[in-house]
Amino acid sequence: MNYNESEENYLETILILSKKLPVVRSVDIAAELNFKKSSVSVAMKHLREKKHITVTDSGFIYLTDSGREIAEMIYERHEFLTCWLSSLGVDHDIAAEDACKIEHVISRESFDALKEYVNARQK
């Protein structure tokens, strides 16, 4: 799997919003990310073309199976890395910001090893 950071951020945002809102629309994504609606519309077009999302006639955005898989992977990394960095004494806001950067570049192998190591140390 090789996706770009922007795609991953959009998919993760859709996942997070879908947990908070009854439906997700482009305007919700734009507000959450503080982006222009036109930028979000272009991104949604690309995600739709890659079959990571579907968009209804009413403008409701849903993750497809492939989109959900990517979003959940990034979200898991974000949550885990934020928690881990915070447990090391890093300020929560800084930990979340750093986790957002790391989550896109760390390999699956390295992330799994880190997760296994941290979880083993907590037992």
Q: How confident is the model at residue 4 (pLDDT cuts 50, 70, 90)?
A: confident
The β-bridge relationship of strands 53-55 and 61-63 is antiparallel
What is the chain's mean pLDDT, rounded? Answer: 94
Whether CATH 1.10.620.20 fits 5-64: no
Size of the chain in residues: 123
Given a cut of 70, whether residue 2 has pLDDT beyond it is: no
Burial of residue 11, with CB atoms counted within 10 A of its CB: 0-12 exposed, 13-18 middle, 19 or more buried: buried
Predicted confidence (pLDDT) per residue in 106-117, tens digit: 999 999 999 999
The model's confidence at residue 1, banded by pLDDT at 50, 70 and 90, is very low
Nearest to 77 by CA among 93, 98, 53, 61: 98
Tens of pLDDT, residues 37-64: 999 999 999 999 999 999 999 999 999 9
List the chain domain ranges: 5-64, 70-121
Residue 53 β-bridge partners: 63
| Whether the domain at 5-64 and the domain at 70-121 fall into the same CATH topology | no
Candidate CATH numbers 1.10.540.10, 1.20.1440.230, 1.10.60.10, 3.40.50.11540; the one for domain 70-121: 1.10.60.10
Using the structure block, give the residue that is written with the tokens 């945002």.
13
